[in-house]
Structure 1
Amino acid sequence: MMSKQNVPELRFPEFSGEWEEKKLGEISQNAMYGMNTAATDFDGENVYVRITDIEEQSRKLNTKDFTSPSEINDRYLLNEEDILFARTGASTGKSYLHRSLNQNLKYYFAGFLIKFELKGGFNPNFIYPQTLTQKYDKWVKVMSMRSGQPGINGKEYSLLPIHTTSEEEQEKIGEFFNKLDRLIELEEKKLELLEEQKKGYMQKIFSQELRFKDENGNDYPEWEEKKIGEIASFSKGKDISKSDLTNEGEPCVLYGELYTRYKDVINEVHSKTNLPAQFLKVAYKNSVLIPSSGETPIDIAKATAINVRSVLVGGDINILNPINGYLGTFISMIINGRYKKRLSKFSQGKTVVHLYNNDIKKLKIDLPTYEEQKKISSFLEKFNKLIEIRNSKIEQMKNRKKTLLQKMYLS
């Protein structure tokens, strides 16, 4: 049975027989384009669903920054389990299965999205995961090719190959992935609570509302305000590109990783290069890295301390080297936790913003004694380690889901 072409590699034992291939247009109502109207402040009732409101990795609706359409037209109202596709630009192919997070709200979809409503006999929870597979990604890559920016229109999405099986098997597979998604969501909520707890402690500690005691139970001395230029020397990284990365070699940090991979502290370096170290910039334990270019002032205003022996540092990165008596992990944490907005005001530029060492030197921060810096950093690092463990578990679960998608659907 498993030698048949239209049979998945992994299957529930009670089902047999080949799957059937259809086109999306055969199993759904006609493709419908969204409404072309501007977004306005959220009115508390009508939610505007745009490409940017669908999170790239989770494919869930971002609930933190709802907006409303400037004009209301119920023709564009989303129904439960409608499927949306992004039709143009870099997001082409992004898909979303609509679920009403709040039954008291109405959801309308925007013009750069295309809606498909499945016909009876076709389970959205079974059909939709097929848009999360490598097979789908390859189809999008080919179908979206244009002379200008990529795009896929409604007629083309209607040609998307979809495999179907009995309603019973559709329901079982759909429910299986729903359960897996709920487990991932549960872990993500635990992670969110941890991050909120850490954030709360950081606000209280760095505002000095919460203070630590020394080993004898006595108060530490009052904090002192200093310019960063008084407590650190400065340098810059040198160019290392993604093409320079290798499986073996010296540990290195690239500019982009400060945004995507690392947070307050680098306890483990994930990239390596074989480029000659003598032509590059080396940073050592206790140094602090701050991006020197980025998209927005608030994004660029972030710090990451090095907590490994040494690392090669790529271009577009400012390097702060604290003098004796000042702890890099504490400086990184207090910048991220209390002085992010203040640091962002030193950035320059519009399309691409820059942050220079000479400006970072001017940033004033409150600093406790070295002993209290260590105690605070140790306390917050415990949260970082718990967050890393939770993140790792979520990543493992997501990878497991990807593997199961490849095996439980036809590739």
Structure 2
Amino acid sequence: MKKVPNLRFKEFSGEWESKKIGEITIKVGSGKTPKGGNSVYTNKGIIFLRSQNVLNGKLSLNDVAYITEEINSSMKSTEVYPDDILLNITGASIGRSCCVPKKFDKANVNQHVCIIRLDSNYNPNFVMNQIISSKVQKQIDSFQAGGNREGLNFEQIKGMRISSTTVKEQEKIAAFFSLIDKKIELQTEKVEELKNYKKGLMQKMFPRNGETVPKLRFAGFTNDWEKRKLEDEFYKVNERNDGSFGKEHWISVAKMYFQDPEKVQSNNIDTRTYVMRYGDIAFEGNKSKSFKYGRFVVNDIGDGVVSELFPIYRHKKSYSNDFWKRAIQIDSIMAPIFSKCITSSGVSSNKLDDKHFLRQSIFVPDIEEQHKIGDYFKTLDKLITLQQRKLDALNEYKKGLLQQMFI
């Protein structure tokens, strides 16, 4: 069986070789935490990289720390250089890897990140993309006891196998993946810009901190928003499932909150369930390992059943589903209400005091303005979803290429 990739640039031929990382490197070693830990970080100085800065295929400086030149001088052996490969070796992000850009300022790194420095016959981007491929990630998994990703030692890293070809083919493949990474980066920026734009608008288009009108409104609306008690708007629903709704009608509040509604799937259900109608609001009223109480979701999927752990509230009159879906996501509006209405009933239980909750007040516009705001954010959310799907498709495209272009 020839050792060649399934997908290859036509100008190259010949078999690839299997190499251990230890055979192609001049350095494999991690950084260290400076004496004093977080307390010695500064607002400027020498960049100090941590595991959160190492993403798959990208070095992120969004949440970067700094150390002084004096501290950096005491850690010369852990300085990183352009073209170094960085690999996270502990914690939940173990296995994430990226290259240090060719044009990069002086930097150091902590003990949770390994520096892999190659000899001159190997292209760092070529090797790094193999590290984040399923082939090497499976090797990383195999080193972890019981399948738990707890940590990698240097001997394990040196023993990891990658495939090697000529320098010219390495450079061709590396340049190709750099173009894909650039497209992914640009698409990621587009998604983040849209999310930040939405966040900014929500801060301006809903009253905050006792205001009676928002800072930004659509033309034609001038009336103050009305302060209403939640009990004037909603009532608690206790509509038990009589068997009319089966497993295919199960509504996962977790997935509804965290994912696109189209991704919600059926799940196993028990007999202690309540019927949730379209437009109903479910509240995470119990503290658990999976959720933090205080999360609301509006059911924009359809009629179904939901776990009894999620109290359901139904609006008493005509209202904009899309408006309330956004209004209840704003911490500055709802967080004070949560803090007033959560009562402790045991060591591990924190529940919503329903009656107290419904007596709380919130500022609400008239129905026409509700619909205007709701429709606008619905359109914006659709645009964000569309751009996120494009990003997901690019990541899947790269994932497929990693499987096809390496052996």
The normalised TM-score by structure 2 is 0.82
Shift of residue 149 of structure 1? 7.0
Would the aligned equivalents of 2:272 and 2:308 in 1 still touch at CA under 8 Å?
no
Name 1:79's counterpart in structure 2: 81
Q: Deviations over 1:212-238 (max 9, x none)?
A: 35xxx5x35321123434422235999
Would the aligned equivalents of 2:95 and 2:132 in 1 still touch at CA under 8 Å?
no
Matched, 1:342 2:336: yes
Matched, 1:390 2:387: yes
The normalised TM-score by structure 1 is 0.81
| RMSD of equivalent CA atoms | 3.3
Question: Which runs of 5 or more structure 1 residues have no equivalent in the other structure?
Answer: 239-247
Would the aligned equivalents of 1:289 and 1:318 in 2 still touch at CA under 8 Å?
yes
User: Aligned partners of 1:197, 1:113: CA distance in 2, in Å?
Assistant: 33
Shift of residue 176 of structure 1? 0.7
Where does 1:157-176 land on structure 2 (aligned, <5 Å)? Answer: 157-176=157-176
Name 2:204's counterpart in structure 1: 204
User: Aligned partners of 1:324, 1:142: CA distance in 2, in Å?
Assistant: 58
Q: Secondary structure at the match of 1:285?
A: coil
Name 1:232's counterpart in structure 2: 234
Would the aligned equivalents of 1:237 and 1:318 in 2 still touch at CA under 8 Å?
no
User: Aligned partners of 2:268, 2:290: CA distance in 1, in Å?
Assistant: 32
Shift of residue 380 of structure 1? 1.0
Shift of residue 52 of structure 1? 3.3
User: Aligned partners of 1:323, 1:283: CA distance in 2, in Å?
Assistant: 15
Q: Secondary structure at the match of 1:91?
A: coil
- The 1:274/1:408 distance shift into structure 2, 3 A limit, reads same
- Number of equivalenced pairs: 383
* Residue identity in the other structure for 1:356: L
Would the aligned equivalents of 2:141 and 2:147 in 1 still touch at CA under 8 Å?
no
Would the aligned equivalents of 1:302 and 1:340 in 2 still touch at CA under 8 Å?
no
* Residue identity in the other structure for 2:402: L
Where does 1:140-155 land on structure 2 (aligned, <5 Å)? Answer: 140-145=140-145, 150-155=150-155
* Residue identity in the other structure for 1:79: Y
Would the aligned equivalents of 2:252 and 2:264 in 1 still touch at CA under 8 Å?
no
* Residue identity in the other structure for 1:250: E
Would the aligned equivalents of 1:85 and 1:93 in 2 still touch at CA under 8 Å?
yes
- The 1:387/1:300 distance shift into structure 2, 3 A limit, reads farther
Matched, 1:39 2:35: no
Name 1:67's counterpart in structure 2: 65
Shift of residue 280 of structure 1? 2.7
**Sequence identity, in percent?**
26
Shift of residue 34 of structure 1? 1.2
User: Aligned partners of 2:251, 2:50: CA distance in 1, in Å?
Assistant: 34
User: Aligned partners of 1:61, 1:315: CA distance in 2, in Å?
Assistant: 44
Would the aligned equivalents of 2:54 and 2:87 in 1 still touch at CA under 8 Å?
no
User: Aligned partners of 1:362, 1:67: CA distance in 2, in Å?
Assistant: 45
Shift of residue 363 of structure 1? 4.9
Matched, 1:17 2:14: yes
Q: Secondary structure at the match of 1:65?
A: coil
Q: Deviations over 1:263-308 (max 9, x none)?
A: xxx4x352123647x65333221122343436799x6544332223
